[in-house]
Amino acid sequence: MRAVLLTVAIALLGSAYGDEIPTEDNVLVLSKPLFDSVISSNDYVLVEFYAPWCGHCKSLAPEYAKAATKLAEEDSPIKLAKVDATQEQDLAEYYKVKGYPTLIFFKKGSSIDYTGGRQADDIIAWLKKKTGPPAVEVSSAEQAKELTVANLVVVFGFFPDQSSERALTFLNTAGVVDDQIFAIVSDEKVIEELEAKAGDIVLYKKFEDPQVKYDAEELSEDLLKNWVFMQSMPTIVEFSHETASKIFGGQIKYHLLLFLSKKDGHFEKYIDELKPVAKNYRDKIMTVSIDTDEDDHQRILEFFGMKKDEVPSVRLIALEQDMAKYKPAADELNANTVEEFVQSFFAGTLKQHLLSESLPADWADKPVKVLVASNFDEVVFDNEKTVLVEFYAPWCGHCKQLVPIYDKLGEHFEKDSDVIIAKIDATANELEHTKITSFPTIKLYTKDNQVREYNGERTLSALTKFVETGGEGAEPVPVDEESDSDDHEQPRDEL
């Protein structure tokens, strides 16, 4: 019967738009002529701007369709739609679409950036939070059961007095946490039926511990928000397109990364053993498992300077410390070594792990000297030399264009005993004192330890003048630089 009603509702929806709007899996397919009419005739519309070639869009598609179907089954006023931005470029440009997929929520005509997750339950939770009260009023045990069955995670607050300080903290937190459903129960009889007590806050979930009670003595919006985030994630989160936004966008900025191979049985061998360690520290550090068999995850290995023969292994990253990386002293992977690794990090006794290539035997043989992390300071901070360094990335198009000019620059200064022209692959060599975020970056290190960054034209004459004048010979001009990511002439395929 529900399926029949759903079919009728979809048919009526098509009639309301003059049968002009196609749908795919309950998702409206919009073009420019139809866009404004759909937005103006619906109070709530979530629109995905996608590209057919975009890998992340393809990953999102089934979850997006699942969310649209579930909302249609609930007879929700919220509609999901999509726009092929490669065909509707005017629309994409108007809404400043820079990467794919881009999701924008229209609430009574006003646009809001979508900030939720990429799984169906996350999408629905975010939309319901934006269109309804911060917490669902639950008036019966049956309604509570329906909520817990329908959602992966639900946070319940049991408050006979909704004006109490604890209840207001709960409701305020519910208002700012967009990706989870909150529910509030005020009827004392229902509270008793649900085996709770007045003032309790309980998170119900369909994985691991099915019920987790907030038991800290202190309660604040920040503490509760962090607790909800922590408890709504698995103890060890598997990295994927779907979980990436939660991992990097969450409140916990220290990540313990487990590099494992599913093909080699590492998940079965290590996950259960390491769960107790992850659980002990989950309020401080998020533990993430990465399947190194996935082609999409090879860039993560490269970022940490790792090779596949080092798997299984563990690393730690501090997101708010310029993505500082840490490596354990021991290669062995077990609960004891991982716990010692985490304890050393929080004790401050771990030294940051900096990537470095091996120093080539012929690093000084050519006019442009080759630097790596291990010889950088010795060469660059020589008080008897003026040193120009290009920080480059092997994949950077602008860096490749600069090569013949930079080689000629090296030849020009080759016989000058107090000038060195050098280059360093900044993706394979890291320096504690210098962080590079765009390529190429060119810096001049003077004899008196001054550092001057070059922002002029990338011509032989301009660079020569810059070196000869100690960094004073070039007027800054607008320059295209490439950030620490791949080249794309069109909007990016992004998480």
The catalytic site residues sit at 54, 57, 396, 399
Q: What is the DSSP letter of 115?
A: -
Q: How far apart are CA 65 and CA 86, in angstroms?
A: 20
Strands 286-291 and 236-238, how do they pair? parallel
Give the contacts of 324 (CB within 8 A, at least 6 positions apart).
317, 318, 352
Which residues lie across from 424 on neighbouring strands? 371, 391
Q: How far apart are CA 191 and CA 264, in angstroms?
A: 48
Q: How far apart are CA 238 and CA 11, in angstroms?
A: 40
Give the contacts of 223 (CB within 8 A, at least 6 positions apart).
216
| The 102-107 sheet, strands edge to edge | 23-24, 27-30, 78-84, 44-50, 102-107, 110-113
Dihedral of alpha carbons 443, 444, 448, 450, sign: negative
How many residues would you count in the chain?
Answer: 495
Give the contacts of 240 (CB within 8 A, at least 6 positions apart).
none
Radius of gyration, alpha carbons of the chain:
28
